[in-house]
Amino acid sequence: MTNHSGLKKRRFFQARTFKKVKRVNITTNRYNLHEYAEGTLGVGNIEQSVKLPEGENINDWLAMNTIEFQNTAKLLFQLVQERCTTETCPKMTAGPRYEYYWKEGKKLVQTTHNPQKISNDYMNRLLLWVDELTEDPKIFPPMENDPFPKHFKKYVAVIFKRLFRVYAHIFTCHFRDIQDMGTEPHFNSCYKHFLLFVLHFKLLKKSDLEPLKVLNEKLLKNTKTQKKK
């Protein structure tokens, strides 16, 4: 929407709390995008909900959705956090074939030569790291009409690459936990939304998604089946 007052308004994605997105009272383009996304999800059309609305700015759409997926990842991890300990998770893995090492820094190209091998604290560091990026005004400009950085989509891709690891670890190492809590359908729905989004905007490579290859194929097959009906 056009800002007829000529004054800059705060972008929707900057107004949030640690646990959930905080609604804003003013009508901004960012808020309208959020309402549009929630509306398409509300009718069960996940595939449609990831697509850029006609006439909207791609960076605004990526930014708003990055915050949405960030908050979702936080909430999902909190459900299993008490079961993700140094005893249960001495390594940060996504099954027996994949282990994640920690690298600090907000640069697009990581220069750390000795990544750290850490246990369950990896997820806390990861989510705090995402917070630092999304709260950096040079990367996620908080005011409408402020320009996004030149390589904004690359920053978004790096964030999604790490957010994927939250899902990968939970599904491969805490699957029985989410079943015990009766939250498996919710986890599947959230992850399907995430998967369709990263595939639609080509944010992750095939190799990045490899730890959940079987689940990915199942969810995508179900999506194709539903489209044919």
> DSSP states of the chain as a string?
---TT-S--B-GGGSB-SSSBPP-SS--HHHHHHHHHHHHHHTT-HHHHTSPPTT--HHHHHHHHHHHHHHHHHHHHHHHGGG--TTT-SS-BSSTT-B--B-----SS---SS-B--STHHHHHHHHHHHHHHT-TTTS--BTTPPPPTTHHHHHHHHHHHHHHHHHHHHHHSHHHHHHTT-HHHHHHHHHHHHHHHHHTT-S-TTTTGGGHHHHHHHHHHHHHHHH-
| pLDDT tens for each residue of 49-103 | 899 998 889 999 999 999 999 999 999 999 999 999 989 999 999 999 999 998 8
Buried b (16+ CB within 10 A) or exposed e, 15-41: bbeeeebeebeeebbbbbbbeebeebb
The pTM (predicted TM-score) of the whole model is 0.81
* Mean predicted confidence (pLDDT) in 180-201: 94
Render pLDDT for 96-141 as a digit per residue (tens, 0 to 9).
999 999 887 766 655 455 777 877 789 999 999 999 999 999 999 9
Separation of alpha carbons 177 and 165, rounded Å:
17
CA distance 109 to 88: 32
- The stretch 157-161 carries a mean pLDDT of 96
